[in-house]
Structure 1
Amino acid sequence: MTRLKIALRKWSSVVIVSYLLVPSLLGASERFPLGILGAHGEVEPGSSLITIVSIQKGSPADQAALQLNDRISGIAGTPFNPHTKKVDDGGSGPQKSLGEFLDLTASKTSSDDRKFQLDIFRGEEEKNLALQITCQLPMRPRVLESEGKKQLQTQAANQLGKTISPKGYWDSPVGLTGDRVLTAWATVALIASGRQQDLAVAEIAHRWLTGPQQQSWIPDNPLEKGPDNLGNWAITSTVIALVEYCGGNPDKDLQTVLERNCNALKSRMDPTGLFGHDVVPGYNKKGFNVINTLSHLAWAMGQKAKIPIDNKIWDLSIEQIRRSIDPNGGVRYWTLKNTGTGDASLRTSSMALALGLWKSDEKMLDRLSSYLDQYNSRTREAHAVGSLGMILAPAALWRHDKEAYQRFVSEWRWYLALMQDHKGEIHYIGGKGNNGGDSYLGKNRIACIIALMILSPPDEKLILFKK
């Protein structure tokens, strides 16, 4: 087995990070889709150029003779602003400019209006070339219009549903914990879609999530790691998915499964309120408070399904979060000061959702929600699993402030536009930090989940969305 494969099997190991760090760790973008152009590009900090790294055969980019290593500098004589490594700049620069332009262009009803000029540099040429692009495709409504939203939701659900394995789950590259995390969030996203065919797939997946003998792979002694070093990421997401599946009304068997998962989380927290990836408090006993916030969300969802919350455990854990809240309202990586909130959206949104569901500590909920709104451009920089920030922040914002949710969706319009290629297929867009966690799960499937969870809150098909 190669060193990479060994690393990939270790979801909870620090070793994995050294193998899966991407160029974006330096503030560059990971290669990203270019929407209806049907290509992928990348951009470096300080540069206003998108370098072409792949082109789909037969795509508008291919038909216009765009070439590998061409560098797109602007549109119709208007240059892009430079890309930056600042998380608060979000996609501002080439990504946002191109995404919003293509979103508008695809919505034009006349084929003549879907012709435009890309300004490029090619080879050693120092002078811009003008490349004429024709997007010969049916009119695609803008992603923030109701029809555009519906079209993207449908495509995301169709694409996600088709990728479930014959065994009834979504398989990740990293073993059982990754399989469970991916399957749980895929299940939640399909329930958010609400179509009958999607609910049928979710039903299959929920049966797999309950595990052999309906024990969710959790040993009778939850302090044992179990198969494949079963992680708390899997346990928390399983609770959320199963509660959403039953709509908060589990039958006796499912309630037993939920209790087993919720109790396992209680058992895996140490006497001071610290968690780790699995059974040991993480990072030399500093803890791992993203598991605290996700556990709170799991417990809050569990109580919706009549699984009582242990108030002593809740209070002990939440004290770790109180000590981790930055003056700006974001939940820092640890209780240690000065660890920053540049990647706080997952920790902050999961805790905000937990407080909203449990209807406790309105003051803290307001602080967390205000952070998510004020710093919405940094949402995809969420721990090492940027997808989960993009999945949960829209739900937290929708519950707390509908206008804040609309501001979020408007901020990420470019993102939703670029993830759809000329065929409507959905591709992953990473952040400026460590996207390693998304690599563990399977990026294009995660992209479908993100699209559904960004656009679905107004439909209120999920407990997560309903206040």
Structure 2
Amino acid sequence: MKTTSLLPFILVVASTLSASEQFPIGILGGRGEVKAGSPLLTILSTDPDSPAIVAGLKAGDQIQGINGTPFTAHSNKIDDGGNGPQKALGEALDHLASQTDEQQRKIALDLIRDEKSISLEISLPFRPGLESEEGRQLLVADACKQLLKTRTPTGYWNSPVGLTGDRVLSAWALVALLSSDIAENQEAIDQAAAWLRGPDGNSWIPDDPMKKGPDNLGNWAISATAVALSEHRIATDDERDDPVIERCCNALKSRMSKEGLFGHDIVPGYSNKGFNVINTLSQLAWAMGSQAGMTLDEETWSKSLEQIRRSIDPNGGVRYWTMKGTGTGDASLRTSSMALALSIADQEAEMATKLGHYLATHPQRTREAHAVGSLGMMLAPSALWRLDREGYWNFAQEWRWYLSLMHRPDGSLHYIGGKRNNGGDGYLGKHRIGCIIAVLILTPPGEKLRLHATNVTQVARIKPGKATEATSPPN
């Protein structure tokens, strides 16, 4: 450990730039914090028996660079992504931990401790890098293990916000497991599908879909369930999914107004201005349902599509509403789900390409967590794989730091929160949605989902399981 006098250091941060981010520090083990306008990464805690604590890294230490190269300042701007301390540390750890020579598998952190400069060398355990297939497979396997460990005894994933969140989280967890190692995940896949089919196979949707079910914000859950069970039907040939997929698709159709507008639940949102993200997620549900054998209602599809057509910004992003000037900084989920719907349904190729171009041009924006747990991070990779392969690989490289910092020394994953509008971060259970994000970023090249490709690689490879159907809602 080397100590020198600290050069005079003055940092002025405007109050408007004082927003901070707290996050895991990857294979080092612990948590850190960055603040907009500052190049310093402050250590908040270190994990027991971690490389960080073994080397003597302490809470309160401020990392100012790596091996003599100072960090640039962190920014709270969406288009800056993780530039600054987060990206520099995450990419350095991913690279250095992958070195086979133990002497090269070390990181030298330039710290400020007690107003003095310190150089602290930390030895890292071996971990294959995310630029290698081995490293990507390891992260997917660890994420799936964590999903398996965090299920409830009846096979679903419970959220902090009740049944709607349980259904959304469980649906996307099922999609993640289907996209990875089927044999390893067979029991969990069977149980999750059975739970999503719901009591009496009705997926908690009343016979009159214009009546509220037992939860709120039901359209998020209905659309996610349709996508997940469609993927399950394609992978397993399980006919028990059919009536539930149809019920979900019909419920979304019934809940759309005659003008093609949606809301969170049964009423068009925001003083009848609509809620475009439910349009795009419904169109994805209908597209996936058609792949699983349902009939696509062309009139309903077209009416909803017209709302989206009017909402596409010149840059290709889907705006919050049809009104001009609402911006596309938070457009990744709307844009990626709509791009997938069009590509899967083989419709509007020019529009799909334009949406894909937006995603490829603005990969940093997918971490804008509007509104539910960074869902854009989950769907943009699949959309890019279908529409822009170079854009997909650029996306994976852009978020390499994020995946690296998420992956802790014990193999577990901790969620890294959304940027700016992150009110939805806590809805679905942060670390589990983090696992789903990691899996769905890395698995498109395997093409095991219809989300990834029209000719998937696992059709009819697995048989439907014998999991019993859910008998009552958990909440």
TM-score higher than 0.5: yes
Which residue is equivalent to 2:89? 98
> Aligned to 1:396, which of 373, 383, 387?
383
TM-score by length of 2: 0.90
Match runs of 1:186-335 below 5 Å? 186-229=173-216, 231-247=218-234, 251-335=238-322
Letter in 2 for 1:312: E
Distance 1:320 1:382 in 2: 23
Quote how far apart the aligned CAs of 1:29 are: 4.7
Q: Is the 8 A contact 2:369 2:419 kept in 1?
A: no
Deviations 1:254-292 (A, max 9, x none): 211111110000111111111111011111211111000
Quote how far apart the aligned CAs of 1:181 are: 0.2
Q: Is the 8 A contact 1:232 1:278 kept in 2?
A: yes
Q: Is the 8 A contact 1:59 1:422 kept in 2?
A: yes
In structure 2, the CA distance between the partners of 1:239 and 1:51, relative to structure 1 (3 Å rule), is same
Deviations 1:291-324 (A, max 9, x none): 0000000000000112111111111111111111
Quote how far apart the aligned CAs of 1:229 are: 2.5
Distance 1:54 1:79 in 2: 22
Of 92-101 and 249-258, the range deviating more from structure 2: 249-258
1:128 aligns with 2:121: no
Quote how far apart the aligned CAs of 1:434 are: 2.4
Q: Aligned pair count?
A: 439
Of 265-274 and 295-304, the range deviating more from structure 2: 265-274
Moved over 4 A (4+): 248-252
Quote how far apart the aligned CAs of 1:70 are: 1.6
What root-mean-square deviation, in Å, do the aligned CA atoms of Structure 1 and Structure 2 show? 1.5
Quote how far apart the aligned CAs of 1:251 are: 4.8
Of 390-399 and 414-423, the range deviating more from structure 2: 414-423
Deviations 1:129-187 (A, max 9, x none): 2222122x2x2111120111111111111111111100210000111100000000000
5+ residue gaps, structure 1, are 1-24
> Aligned to 1:108, which of 99, 111, 116?
99
Letter in 1 for 2:411: G
Which residue is equivalent to 1:384? 371
Deviations 1:50-100 (A, max 9, x none): 111121111111112222222111111111011111111111111111011
Identity of aligned residues (%): 59
TM-score by length of 1: 0.91
Secondary structure of the 1:225 match is coil
Of 396-405 and 244-253, the range deviating more from structure 2: 244-253
1:80 aligns with 2:80: no
* Bigger helix share: 1
Letter in 2 for 1:218: I
> Aligned to 1:49, which of 18, 40, 45?
40
> Aligned to 1:448, which of 435, 438, 446?
435
Distance 2:296 2:329 in 1: 31
5+ residue gaps, structure 2, are 1-15, 455-475
Quote how far apart the aligned CAs of 1:427 are: 1.0
Distance 1:42 1:441 in 2: 23
Secondary structure of the 1:51 match is strand
Deviations 1:1-50 (A, max 9, x none): xxxxxxxxxxxxxxxxxxxxxxxx97845311111110111111111111
Distance 1:199 1:387 in 2: 27
